[in-house]
A and B are shown apart, each in its own frame.
Chain A
Amino acid sequence: MNGLSLQDVVVRYGAVPAVDGVSLDVAPGSVVALLGPSGCGKSSLLRAVAGLEPLAEGTVSWDGASLAGVPVHRRGFGLMFQDGQLFAHRTVGGNVAYGLPARSAARVAELLELVGLSGYEDRGIATLSGGERQRVALARALAPAPRLLLLDEPLSALDRALRERLAVDLRAALVTTGTTAVFVTHDQDEAFAVADRVAVMAAGRLLQVDAPADLWVRPATREVASFLGYEAFVPLDSPAAAPLRDALDVSPSGATLALAEGAFVVGRTGVAKGTVRGVSSRRGRSEVRVDVDGIGVVTALGPVGGRWTVGDIVELGVEPDALAVLDA
């Protein structure tokens, strides 16, 4: 097996397992996101791969060779933290050059250019904005050309607009350099934007590993689906699910149907009815909280400028892309 391979990895803090038997392969050149709520053990798993947490059980290996006896600094794995952890007593250039042999000015310049900070070599860390700091941290981590880059929530400390822009830049930098990477995040948009494959974790276990699109269309369990943002679940054979079955063109069975935000659309030709419970607006579109008989309160999308008041009965159409059938 080439690349990173985790076999039944267990990490314990005292008696409590933070990571509980995780197996995962990361092929060379690919980017895998570990996605999960805070406290699910994703950061502990990342630290175990880096060699910062001892393994209680299982193995971490690279290109088939176990890393059990290899200390952190000999693993050749880069590490990037949420708040950069830049060395305040060094300049930008000094930070990027830290992992490089002496006289690597050309390589430092090359990396600063890659992250869009050409000419920043002599700037002090204190003069940088939050986004610039994370770019320097990325350049520093990429500088020694690590065989694997581990990113621990690298964008979480930034504001939303910056985060979305940097996610794109991060993906570009990883692809340009052909870096194999494991990326920890609790933000699914970030995971989907950066990673080739997404591994969903909860309570120390891996729930599902898939490409972003597959993960969205076929969440393996109700737990994965709710973490991805599916907000309501109905048995496929219940009477209330009939219009949804028609939209998906599936027959009734024991499976469960998951509804994401926008599974119902207000104002299209009505196949169902709901009572308005509240209205809000996000980026111009109306989000209408509607109570649908037999399903519960869900978020339906409405056209720009729609006006409803609480208690109105509205007609609802169905958007099949926001529905998923769960086997379990």
Chain B
Amino acid sequence: MSLSTLTRPDVAAASGRGRVVVFWSAAVALPLIFLGVFFAWPVAVMIAKGFVVDGQLDLSGFADVFSRPRTWRIVGLTIAQATLGTVLSVLLGVPGAYVLYRHTFRGRTLVRAFVTVPFVLPTVVVGVAFRSLLVSGGPLGFLHLDGTFAAIVAALVFFNYAVVVRAVGGLWERLDSRAEQAARALGASPWTAFRTVTLPQLTPAIASAASLAFLFCATAFGTVLVLGGLQFGTIETEIWIQTTQFLDLRAAAVLSVVQLVVVAGTLIVAGRARSRREQALGLTLPSASVRPLRLRRPAGMPPGDGHALTLVATAVTALVVLLLALPLVNLVVRSLRTGDGWGLDHYTALGGWGTTGGSLSVTVWQATVNSLRVALDATMIALVVGGLVALVVSRRPRRAVGRRAVAGLDALFMLPLGVSAVTVGFGFLLSMHHPFGLPVDLRTSPLLVPIAQAVVAVPLVVRVVLPVLRAIDPRLREAAATLGATPGRVLRTVDLSIAGRSLGLAVGFAFAASLGEFGATSFLARPDRPTLPVVIFRLIGRPGPESYGMALAASVVLAVLTAGIVAACERLRAPGAGGEW
């Protein structure tokens, strides 16, 4: 130690403070630069392509695109699909949350995990699973739902049910039931007490879950592309069609802006709902409010005491769980059916190049390995960037300006969740050729696909880690500081060690998101190195029962891989550490 630091303690203190400033500046700057270069810039380039003609700003595209009936049909369809999908998810998800989080029964852990499976399934797989269920000749073929609006809405609900159940259930299981009991004692029937007391307490969680579900529904791509065909679509699939089929970049740019507006609006609503969350709610430990689930009315419980409501919720949930299982079971069963009976033929075929309708250029197994490698890189990037964002956003600066900046940063990093992945992917192609005038072509870089997928996965990491960081009692940090811990040590021993418990889930979701990512990857994956969802989509597009069988088998492989990884990651986390997920 030098003499000067011994005699000049203020210098040492100043350099300590300097390190803190440098750390936080880097924590803010790194994610901002990442988001700027790999999200804002490509999206801006993509949108500019539509609006800048010969160096002149030309907004006539808006008038042109909005004068097409097709545009209005697509916008209407998007909003109708998302609204219906969200409303149904909430109507089914609230009873589900009640049964799965307010009650205990044998196999509850299993059912809870199962309900989450559709949420982490790649959208392409969901599309394939629903198609194989609904096509003529499928188990539900007699309903003639293949290629209909109803089929798309059903697939969206399939995907978003878990979002509502997990978010609402997480709050509901900690809600003090005595407020409801007080209402009952004041003369409210079980239903009235639920409507006037419990429901208002749950409203923030429901609103937050609904806005997320709306976001996922409105920007659905893979599922809708597989199920909707040419007749139905969302703004997102329309951007894809305009870009790749009609090469109409102006229309794609206008639609991207429209989607951005829809997404930003939804995010604002979601942010409001989240900030009002847990407003003076009476919360307890889950053990205090959770009861065993009984199908028969317990002895001594009078009629009219709410048992009927529990029964209805249980019946609804049981039906939903069955319906959720249907496409998945059917997918597995159909993948095992061969031309003349049953067998693993389709799975064996995954090792080959495909014989009919042109070569795949890689085997499905090679694509699987490639997918895993890409997802691993994407997860690492998403964890670093998302972790830093969560850390910064979890701070509560003293000054109002600081608090507003933190809130702005929070909203900013939610944007990739809703901005068209297709726009991002195509924007990458346009902007990464000599980016910022630099003489490099990033389009051939093997890191391009992982980076694009990380952009999509970052919001998920933030949403999982942030609630855990926010829930840390500030007095814990103060206690650590008074015990002599430096700011760095406080961060390491308090924030990081507690947030680390939610890391398993964050890794799982990030991994699942990038494994299943299709919108951006379909643009960026090089033909000789496709990912699994891209290969599945190619297989569906090819004629012949053999290709279709291979698509089914590949979907099962992708589904099992994703669900297995998420399940393994979720086992790693401490109970209750998942925040709103």
Residues in chain A within 8 A of chain B (CB atoms): 50-52, 54-56, 67-81, 83, 85-89, 98-99, 125-126, 137, 140-141, 143-144, 146, 150
B185 pairs with A69, CB closer than 8 A: no
- B residues near A52, Cβ cutoff 8 Å: 181, 184
- A residues near B179, Cβ cutoff 8 Å: 85-87
Listed residue (B185, B188, B302) with the most chain A CB atoms within 10 angstroms of its CB: B185
Of the residues B186, B201, B299, contact of A54 by C-beta under 8 Å: B299
Does B69 interact with chain A (Cβ within 8 Å)?
no
Does B187 interact with chain A (Cβ within 8 Å)?
yes
The residue of chain B having its C-beta at the shortest distance from the C-beta of A68 within the complex is B302
Contact bitstring B261-284, A, C-beta under 8 A = 1, else 0: 000000000000000000111100
Contact bitstring B206-243, A, C-beta under 8 A = 1, else 0: 00000000000000000000000000000000000000
Q: Report the Cα distance A146→B186, complex, angstroms.
A: 8
- B residues near A83, Cβ cutoff 8 Å: 282
Interface members, chain B 172-190 (any A CB < 8 Å): 176, 178-179, 181-190
Query: Known contacts being A87-B197, A88-B281, A144-B187, is A51 close to B182, with CB within 8 Å?
Result: no
Known: A52-B181, A73-B188. 9 other contacts (CB 8 A): A68-B300, A69-B302, A72-B184, A73-B186, A81-B178, A81-B182, A88-B280, A98-B196, A146-B185
Q: Report the Cα distance A150→B201, complex, angstroms.
A: 24
Does B58 interact with chain A (Cβ within 8 Å)?
no
A73 pairs with B193, CB closer than 8 A: yes
Q: State how many angstroms separate the Cβ of A317 from the closest Cβ of chain B.
A: 50
Listed residue (A73, A79, A146) with the most chain B CB atoms within 10 angstroms of its CB: A73
The residue of chain A having its C-beta at the shortest distance from the C-beta of B181 within the complex is A52
The residue of chain A having its C-beta at the shortest distance from the C-beta of B292 within the complex is A14
- A residues near B184, Cβ cutoff 8 Å: 52, 71-73, 79
Q: State how many angstroms separate the Cβ of A84 from the closest Cβ of chain B.
A: 8
A72 pairs with B181, CB closer than 8 A: yes
Of the residues A71, A87, A88, contact of B302 by C-beta under 8 Å: A71
Q: Report the Cα distance A71→B302, complex, angstroms.
A: 5
- A-B residue pairs in contact (CB < 8 Å), sample of 6: A69-B303, A71-B304, A73-B188, A74-B187, A99-B186, A141-B185
Q: Report the Cα distance A78→B184, complex, angstroms.
A: 9
Q: State how many angstroms separate the Cβ of A256 from the closest Cβ of chain B.
A: 40
A79 pairs with B300, CB closer than 8 A: no
Of the residues B182, B279, B298, B301, contact of A85 by C-beta under 8 Å: B182
A71 pairs with B305, CB closer than 8 A: yes
Of the residues B185, B279, B302, contact of A70 by C-beta under 8 Å: B302
Q: Report the Cα distance A89→B179, complex, angstroms.
A: 12
A73 pairs with B300, CB closer than 8 A: no
A51 pairs with B197, CB closer than 8 A: no
Q: Report the Cα distance A75→B184, complex, angstroms.
A: 10
How many of B's residues come within 8 Å of A, CB to CB? 32
Q: Report the Cα distance A51→B187, complex, angstroms.
A: 12
B279 pairs with A88, CB closer than 8 A: yes
Listed residue (B176, B196, B302) with the most chain A CB atoms within 10 angstroms of its CB: B302
Q: Report the Cα distance A170→B304, complex, angstroms.
A: 33
- A residues near B306, Cβ cutoff 8 Å: 71
- B residues near A99, Cβ cutoff 8 Å: 186-188
Q: Report the Cα distance A178→B182, complex, angstroms.
A: 21
The residue of chain B having its C-beta at the shortest distance from the C-beta of A125 within the complex is B280
- B residues near A98, Cβ cutoff 8 Å: 183, 186, 188, 196
Does B200 interact with chain A (Cβ within 8 Å)?
yes
- B residues near A141, Cβ cutoff 8 Å: 182, 185-186
B304 pairs with A74, CB closer than 8 A: yes
B189 pairs with A51, CB closer than 8 A: no
Of the residues B178, B189, B282, B299, contact of A73 by C-beta under 8 Å: B189
Q: Report the Cα distance A73→B179, complex, angstroms.
A: 14
Q: State how many angstroms separate the Cβ of B13 from the closest Cβ of chain A.
A: 40
B301 pairs with A54, CB closer than 8 A: yes
- A residues near B197, Cβ cutoff 8 Å: 87
Q: State how many angstroms separate the Cβ of A137 from the closest Cβ of chain B.
A: 8
Q: Report the Cα distance A140→B302, complex, angstroms.
A: 25
Q: Report the Cα distance A61→B306, complex, angstroms.
A: 21
A54 pairs with B185, CB closer than 8 A: no
A73 pairs with B302, CB closer than 8 A: no
B300 pairs with A85, CB closer than 8 A: no
Query: Known contacts being A73-B193, A89-B201, A125-B280, is A56 close to B182, with CB within 8 Å?
Result: no
Q: Report the Cα distance A73→B182, complex, angstroms.
A: 10
- A residues near B182, Cβ cutoff 8 Å: 79-81, 85, 137, 140-141
Q: State how many angstroms separate the Cβ of A12 from the closest Cβ of chain B.
A: 10
B299 pairs with A50, CB closer than 8 A: no
Q: State how many angstroms separate the Cβ of B461 from the closest Cβ of chain A.
A: 32
- B residues near A75, Cβ cutoff 8 Å: 185
The residue of chain B having its C-beta at the shortest distance from the C-beta of A10 within the complex is B300
Q: Report the Cα distance A143→B298, complex, angstroms.
A: 32
The residue of chain A having its C-beta at the shortest distance from the C-beta of B180 within the complex is A85
The residue of chain B having its C-beta at the shortest distance from the C-beta of A72 within the complex is B184
- B residues near A78, Cβ cutoff 8 Å: 185-186
- A residues near B298, Cβ cutoff 8 Å: 54
B186 pairs with A51, CB closer than 8 A: no
Q: Report the Cα distance A204→B299, complex, angstroms.
A: 20
Q: State how many angstroms separate the Cβ of A327 from the closest Cβ of chain B.
A: 37
A85 pairs with B303, CB closer than 8 A: no
Q: Report the Cα distance A143→B187, complex, angstroms.
A: 11
Q: State how many angstroms separate the Cβ of A302 from the closest Cβ of chain B.
A: 41
Q: Report the Cα distance A327→B536, complex, angstroms.
A: 87
- A residues near B189, Cβ cutoff 8 Å: 71, 73
- A residues near B201, Cβ cutoff 8 Å: 88-89
Q: State how many angstroms separate the Cβ of A38 from the closest Cβ of chain B.
A: 15
Listed residue (B179, B188, B196, B303) with the most chain A CB atoms within 10 angstroms of its CB: B179
Q: Report the Cα distance A170→B428, complex, angstroms.
A: 71
A51 pairs with B305, CB closer than 8 A: yes
The residue of chain B having its C-beta at the shortest distance from the C-beta of A140 within the complex is B186
- A residues near B282, Cβ cutoff 8 Å: 83, 85, 88
- B residues near A71, Cβ cutoff 8 Å: 184, 189-190, 302-306
Q: Which 8 A-B pairs have the closest CB atoms?
A: A54-B300, A99-B186, A79-B185, A71-B305, A72-B184, A88-B280, A71-B304, A55-B300
Q: Report the Cα distance A146→B193, complex, angstroms.
A: 18
Q: State how many angstroms separate the Cβ of A129 from the closest Cβ of chain B.
A: 14
- A residues near B183, Cβ cutoff 8 Å: 87, 98
Listed residue (A51, A72, A75, A80) with the most chain B CB atoms within 10 angstroms of its CB: A72
A85 pairs with B185, CB closer than 8 A: no
Q: Report the Cα distance A231→B300, complex, angstroms.
A: 41
Q: State how many angstroms separate the Cβ of B430 from the closest Cβ of chain A.
A: 49
Contact bitstring B296-337, A, C-beta under 8 A = 1, else 0: 001111111110000000000000000000000000000000
Q: State how many angstroms separate the Cβ of B536 from the closest Cβ of chain A.
A: 47
- A residues near B190, Cβ cutoff 8 Å: 71, 73
- B residues near A76, Cβ cutoff 8 Å: 187
- A residues near B281, Cβ cutoff 8 Å: 88
Q: Report the Cα distance A303→B202, complex, angstroms.
A: 59
- B residues near A89, Cβ cutoff 8 Å: 200-201
Query: Known contacts being A56-B300, A81-B178, A87-B197, is A73 close to B185, with CB within 8 Å?
Result: yes
Interface members, chain B 76-126 (any A CB < 8 Å): none
Q: Report the Cα distance A76→B186, complex, angstroms.
A: 8
